[in-house]
Structure 1
């Protein structure tokens, strides 16, 4: 493409509605492995642009979507006038395709609060249509191991945000809340999509998990009697509305998510679990951020078989009720937490970004939650009677 001077889209945005446009060509610069049919699906809508303002807007959407579905690492749309035409335009996409192979090492803190190290490797756009293969191995300082390999295939098309994925993983972890260890081998198939003009997020998962529970000498009899091998086949369906500006430490927006898991088609597990998650965040004066979250879970066993201890509801830890040990709220036997059949948790946060603003925060919180026994006859009453409350101020640190 010959050297020309291009101006930012803001210079004409919302000012060219009355300027008709005819897209005469769409060209890509920097394409080596991406398939032509994939590119056609992504940009075909540009030819339907009725005016220059719409063409500018659609070109920006197309460039962003090329990156979000994994076809490109970087994409910029440049709009040029077509030769010998007063209303004709040529859209040029300057793109950079994903690297042939990526690998890395990351040290951090797991959701359990343990330091961990992760080794990861992957390849994006494997077949030139946005497919991705990723592998990861994680080891924590307390001896937990996890290895997984996943493959993802996006459905391409104008502003389509849907994909299917398959994951295999093996996990070996210690569960200090009930003095036991668990090995898991799982295969998961998932579909992620959008409904109602992309306003509603939709996910369906099919899980096949072979689990081995190994109780230690210190575990209560209620835990030891459930030790051994179990097989769980379950189907999960979730819908959500998410307007947050970012998924972690959002500064504004809401999340409303309802999920249902049904187990019992095959295997040993047989239950229905319903989960409701609500989150909201809003900015306050002086740079403060007010956030609140609420979570409710209800678990009901099917048939005469008791719900396994690995499938029950748990609370406690920095993911829900800070100030308590991980998964330690609720019914206990000796020194083991047995989980429950229902749980409620509510938290109010007050954040203040420091320097650097996206990494360092001061944080105050007030949290409350309760867990009802799996055998509770009056779940609501027991949730009211077993409330636990915590409050605190977290000194400035990384989040």
Structure 2
């Protein structure tokens, strides 16, 4: 679950970064235009020079005429050419013009004068004047008059300034981000599909687990029904064993498995005659052998129950002793499976804490005494320590109350 959340967060963060990248790129394309600035010395430029410039301007004097007296008038037609690979917008032209006359009229642009410096700016009311497509041009013109002498304007130091209007589709970064977005989308779809499949599988798994649990619980009721004095014994042992497993710090899978193993640890008792199982007096040796055989009989009954680990070995080994004197195989110490050692302690505690056909339950101090006395002989000392802690902290009583509440509800 935590891994799934981390993957989901990763998808969200990467998606946000891709969107921010596209937004940032789009913003730059639409608002932060790269500036282009070109200077030329005069309004005359050769064809070779023009090919190597991003922007250039030419001027053609289309006609001239005499003014009254000794003056002159002329019409000057200007052409601004865009040689860049991009459209150019918001262009303007600055030039130094040495001239004694005046601009009589002008079209397609406005102008401002500051000494010899004149700045021409495209007019807003002329369609597409501010915008020059790549490979295109714009023209403007003026009529100049010099009523004092026969002399045309001397133009020098021209600067053409514009801003490249980038095309988003022509930027490599845009396609890289689009590729990232496509890959991201594929991964998101695949992840969502996997999540849906996993959720369906998990639901099926939960249903299977519930079916297994109900089957185990039903079988446990059959086992406990054999002995009215030990009714609920399997549930209590399973609950104690689960709590011990938690105290030992075992993984959750082991905690769950040992609970199921505890429920079925006495499965072999289903085949013991009621007369022997509920006999109030001392058992004969033959009867004792029949009782002890419930461990091996349990393994036989559970031989096909392989879906949960530890079920069979717990049924077989929960009466083995830590010192090797238990049954059925006399295993010793750590040779006894962990589940068997845990259920051995839980089973013995419940036997001491419950009324039996042959005796009443033992008081808590006597149970603690027995657990300590048999630590290292009958019981694994490490497991006994956890069980004693559960008793002394009152956790066992809490568990008993929870079990009683469930029993009442049922």
- Asked if TM exceeds 0.5, the reply is no
Q: Larger Cα Rg: Structure 1 or Structure 2? A: 2
Higher relative contact order (CA 8 A, sep 6+): 2
TM-score (norm 1): 0.21
Q: Which has the higher helix share?
A: 2
Q: Which has the higher strand share?
A: 1
